[in-house]
Chains A and B, each alone.
Chain A
């Protein structure tokens, strides 16, 4: 009964939201269909482009991008629509990232549980998806609010975008319905579809859910990336050229897609990790502590799994931004936004430190860890050295006295650390060292029984040392003694070196520790409370980081709604100062975290009710 009523309520909500979405998009898409049907009306607009259709007889004409004035932006009192849309869009993105990521790793963990026949995996996967359920409704509500805000405050922009993306926006609305349906069947049918063939059906529904969710994200990414690197429109007038695929498949679409998929996984893992930490700290029984410790650990592994390749996906996106527009690239990395990148570097460094700290604290679970804890200080020293390089700016903030002492705005020895070859070198080594912490953690409780264990460890040590030496050589030689083209290209062998370390270490480990003895049973739950704060730090840093980087991505368009096509002529069409932007992002992050805590609390009271039954 409770299943049915819960399902019914959620379905009603979904339907309502779908109607809102579909209604909004369909309504705003109408002018496009009108254009197609009544070309005469479209001709009224100045500078229309004409596209030949099929036999070349029938012509379809599309209007140019509107040229707006301040009067075209509705204003309600002294209300600031830009901040509203900014915060609401950011909140929607955070929640969407979370609810899209969770089903990806839930499906993997569920499949793992099925393959290993270990019920703990299944239980954990179910608990993960349970946390994301409330977040899903909130994502939809905020998505509706975002659509509503855009319609009210930026009607012409929305109309123009809807005219280009009419079909994909409509598809988005229907896909949203499909995602809701598959999610609810996946979640509410979890226990119903247990065992044998039914489990396969359940996994297939999970796969459908992930497929639909990913397509939804790709569509939304197309709208965003179009505003940065418009395609499929007349560059002079912004008039649609007739192919929606060309509009979707713009220059930055795929780099953004890759970056967001990986980032979502890392982010989803970090939020689930924060949930596990919250539950761990609130648990009083040993069983609960052990369960949530394990859950936090698994979530951390997922977050780290996403975090390690993320800098490379980000680097590719940035490289493509540079390639698309030097102006945008310099604005991003050398111009007005450069200092936000220093903040980004600091937050990413904080992420790496948190992850390492969590792994070091986690060694308490094992009695065999004492063999490795003495290495922590050296790993930490090397991580911090890389971290300092990672956030050293190229352009320094100097007092006049310092400026004179240095003889210019650049530091002779630290200045070179401010450019990308040094950053790439530092981040690759940071990743390798974090992976080293993970490797030591994994083997802390094991004693290899194979005869070649000592040789295997020596080979692994040689791989780590050789890789670090190679990364430094590539960074220094290609970064400082060749021209820019080689400099940028050198990042690829650096990344490959890092990948080689990870892959070969895992292969050797899997062979070396096959049939290994445990030092003692792992003591899940036997970690200090402070380690859980590392998980909170991870989630908060990720959230803030995404907010700042999201602002930068959007902000580098500067005074354009759609870069070089449709100008923003509202009174808010200015690039905010770093402080102003950071304050808005921080406010949004605080609102998000408050809602997340509310969701955690909801799942807590729901768990209490289940326990009482």
Chain B
């Protein structure tokens, strides 16, 4: 018999600590597959965030550094500038990248640092216990907004891809999702392009992945996939927001 799928070599053979149905496991595998297929695992350096994926260094078989909350792109900048031959990626969640790390994210993109950022958007803070994140949808309940996010008090959700697409330094921005198998395959393509851009020295590349957090949304994983399809996609439309290679650069 022929084995169709194989565990990527860049992903260590250990059981992950994530909750059932969490999207991190899927994206970890996709990142590891990209590192394998582009043959850069031996010179890859990852930056693990603060959040549920803080233990990403337990799972990736490449060098990893665990950064302070939100400082992933700043640390990745330092690694890439001191060792330009390394392939550097920062793996971050929405509380990490869009809240406390917004300054680092925006300025890394503005400087067009030649790094790859993997941004997991699950519309809520995961590890800290389901608080409202900058990406929480209007009306979505969380432990700090039990009656739902109220725009008068909490403002509006941040769309990171749209925000960064205004910067000339951001070279590749795409939003994908992992709520169905088809979207997982598309996410892999986007991640591979983001890593290829770095190998080609094109500058700042980011892939935003809409992901599941069934524990903190307090719904079953399959209902979380439905939640993404019905509630998140209208607010966070999928697609390529910037591709410096595309003929009409700067547009959708």
Task: Say whether A associates with B.
Answer: no
